[in-house]
A and B are shown apart, each in its own frame.
Chain A
């Protein structure tokens, strides 16, 4: 099972919106809505920010939103803040081995 494909890095200025893509296949992202996104700061545990493609867990800022089209899921962060600077990983249920993570995207706030 190959990792889902994400851009290595995305950057934006405070207040701007950025979007991170996550491309899979017809065995994972394309057919299942069990797509999640995790935020990870260095040295910390990952934090769930989106599940089931579009759902925000309780306590997660409404600046985070998710979507999906075909084999590609996306995470949008609006009103970018300094605290959003982190690594972001998508994850999907897959018919081959259960779960697969994306390659990860480093978000930089300029």
Chain B
């Protein structure tokens, strides 16, 4: 049981480039989310999903796209990278089977945009 996995661990992009951050979970969780962590600001929600085919925007969605075609995968796409998107990105999943909705986090992807 790998839990939540994210690839890549590190990435450097040039301004204007696009890329996809991968996230997968093997716990059959229906809920998945993407957060970004910037210094001094805690984690902020980018996009989330309550099931395959259903996604919605979080607090800071601009510049990012998501889709959820399977329960397991929830990729995050940067359409045209900007230096303001330099951050650490965390993917998380949770299930209502646990009454707490405890979120399980992946190890994070550190992205630098130059």
A and B pair up: no
